[in-house]
Chain A
């Protein structure tokens, strides 16, 4: 094979058009074809197609939201889909929350006291100190698989106890990912219910909290739960 400084344009165009033979295909193009000139398996497509058809028949999905009052952390907005609780947000205006949750979940936001009743009741009980664990299902379809595994791990920390970012990393098999764990928890779509406030820095300090009030909210939630604070 002689070394070529410039790939002749004609040859390149032949490859781009799919009419070059392997012998006249340059190394980079062979490597590229190995990665991209493959098609999804028929079963992969059929699965996607079925899901799409079901969804098109059902039309655009909806997300139901409402407000929860709380003296401990201030008002909250909650949003529920057919799959469970999808968002908890500290305060803010209704229009902002509805717009944000609709965009995030790709659904039409509808205010509904009825659809959110179970979530609001559990949150209310929890914030009054009358509930130790949540039983409502949580909808984590809209986070990445990494974030989902972090949030699931955080969920396993019971009320009154704490873990560190490093602990979570170890539990999900990524012991060096403490920083990524912190980021994943920082964008927890369902704070309080997925108790990211129970996860602290490995040096024993509180770490961070992105909810309104920041660390003072984190401290208040931990105090409510009777956890030993650093």
Chain B
């Protein structure tokens, strides 16, 4: 078990981006909050055989697992929630909201690695190398996962919809 000081230092340094990551994937402030607590609790409870060399990638990986189980739980309960606090400013507010909802549904239906790779690369600003350190595999695999996700989204939102 790592020292509490070290975990607090990680929370200071990476807490904000991990929270934003959970918030983006889960689309709900309360779930993101719970997810952040859960991520660091897993860190606290983790018994380490070796020191953690890449805490940022490790935290992202744990947060990804936390988010995945949260999404799975929502699915099994058939619970569809609105997006209570993601405010989209657009002239055609309602249509925009529907579209955002539709996009989220497609992203949530992607395999977990594709969803994570896409969000990590595009919205968390990680390089393919960094994504690979989070999800395992090579930078090549990370890139393939992002492209797979993009292909499915392109199919769901064709160009003429613009």
Name A residues whose Cβ lies closer than 8 Å to a Cβ of B.
1, 3-4, 7, 12, 15-16, 18, 26-32, 34-41, 44-45, 47-49, 51-53, 55-56, 59-60, 106, 108, 144-147, 180, 183-184
Contact = CB atoms under 8 A, between A and B. Distances in A.
A56 B41 CA distance: 8
Nearest to A1: B162
Interface string B54-87: 0000000000000000000110011100000111
A7 B103 contact: no
A219 B159 CA distance: 60
A18 B32 CA distance: 24
A197 to B, nearest CB: 21
Contacts of A51: 33, 36-37
Contact of A52 (B15, B150, B161): B15
A41 B85 CA distance: 9
B113 interface: no
A53 B161 contact: no
A106 B41 contact: yes
B103 A34 contact: yes
B38 interface: yes
Nearest to A50: B33
B11 A28 contact: no
A184 B73 CA distance: 12
A56 B119 contact: no
Given A26-B159, A108-B45, A183-B77, 15 more contacts: A3-B159, A12-B150, A26-B154, A28-B153, A28-B158, A31-B103, A32-B157, A34-B90, A35-B100, A37-B123, A39-B23, A40-B23, A40-B85, A60-B41, A60-B44
Contacts of B4: 56, 59
12 contacts: A1-B160, A1-B162, A18-B122, A28-B156, A28-B157, A31-B100, A32-B157, A34-B96, A35-B107, A41-B85, A44-B32, A52-B11
By secondary structure, the A interface counts as: helix
Contacts of A44: 23, 29, 32-33, 85
Contact of A35 (B36, B85, B104, B158): B104
Interface of B: 4, 7-8, 11, 15-16, 19-20, 23-24, 27, 29, 32-33, 36-38, 40-42, 44-45, 73-74, 77-79, 85-88, 90, 96, 99-100, 102-104, 107, 119, 121-123, 125, 146-147, 150, 153-154, 156-162
A36 B36 contact: no
Given A15-B122, A16-B122, A55-B41, A27 B158 contact: yes
Contacts of A18: 122, 125
B51 to A, nearest CB: 19
A7 B41 contact: no
Nearest to B162: A27
Given A38-B88, A59-B44, A4 B74 contact: no
B103 A35 contact: yes
B87 to A, nearest CB: 8
Given A12-B150, A52-B11, A144-B79, A4 B23 contact: no
Contacts of A26: 154, 159
A52 B7 CA distance: 11
